[in-house]
Amino acid sequence: MVDETILREKAREVLARDDVRRLIGWKRGTYGYESAPAVLKDASQADELIFDPTCVQNPASFITLEEKLPVPRGQDPDTRKVAVLVKGCDSRAVVQQLVEKAYTRDGVIVLGVPCTGVVDRRKAQKMFGDTSEPVMIKEEGDKFVFIIDGETREGPRAELLADKCVRCRFPNPLVYDELVADEVAVWGADEFADVDEFEKMSPPEKWKFWEEQFSKCIRCYSCRNVCPMCYCLECVVTKQKPQWTRRSTDVSENTAYHIQRAWHLSGRCIECGECERVCPVDIPITTLNRKMTRDVKELFSYEPGVDVEAEPLLSCYNPQDPEEYIM
């Protein structure tokens, strides 16, 4: 368990440094079962920070939203460091961003937060109903204890964990400058059972499934905007010249959009589940991404977000790569 007193003290120490401009973490949300992202600029704000099973968001998504060079005329670039709190799954995004040289290791201070799992808000809403007040959650053994509208409720941990947590192999951050709590035991294993189940379907069944899912898409781009690996200054899906994808929300164009995203994330997706979490129409986006993830792992023995010294998949060449696909 993370002691929030220690967490806030570490944050104060970091924010008090002259070479740090801000710290990204979590604070209590305004309503519901999730916390809210927090961007702190002063040590006096450290008491806003929390860490509990409501801290689902991936703070690494915000690192690449920092000011980009060149700065406006007459202004000097702010070269101070950005500090960030990360869970294990979040840290994979930091690792992959470093691999892709989105920023330098010297430019970020990583405070690692060992995690025993976060709550899926949709599962919690189904079990306890919705609420307009912020919910507090703590873990007690094999259950989660909720304070909802002033009332204490309990639910089985196994039924409320986010799916990514059920299979989590990296509850402890993979890269950090300092841990704010002791490491926790690894409990998950990922055998891609969800992908196996999907692949049992026939091609017509698969198309029927995705046709139904993609027909719901409203092209709000929330999945792209929240993704820690979608940090291009200009996204290919919104380019006009050349225009690769039209903006109409029919099944054809929606399918093209989601397949483009899946390909662009091949060998890059760190499986944080943020895309699916924020989807307003509940499209199972991670099913598509995880299919590509497993293929990359099996074909190229490559797993993104686990090795800071690795080369990006599509920029390296191995003569021993299988070539059965070449005619």
Query: pLDDT, tens digit, for every residue of 65-109?
Result: 866 667 788 888 888 999 999 999 999 999 999 999 999 999 999
For the chain, the domains span 7-70+78-179, 193-315
Local structure of 222: helix, strand or coil: helix
Q: How far is CA 291 from CA 222, 284, 287, in A?
A: 21, 12, 6
Cβ atoms of 122 and 206 closer than 8 Å: no
Q: Is 241 left (phi over 0), alpha (psi -120 to 50) or beta?
A: beta
Model pTM score: 0.90
Cβ atoms of 230 and 219 closer than 8 Å: no
pLDDT tens-place string over residues 48-71: 999 999 999 999 999 988 666 677
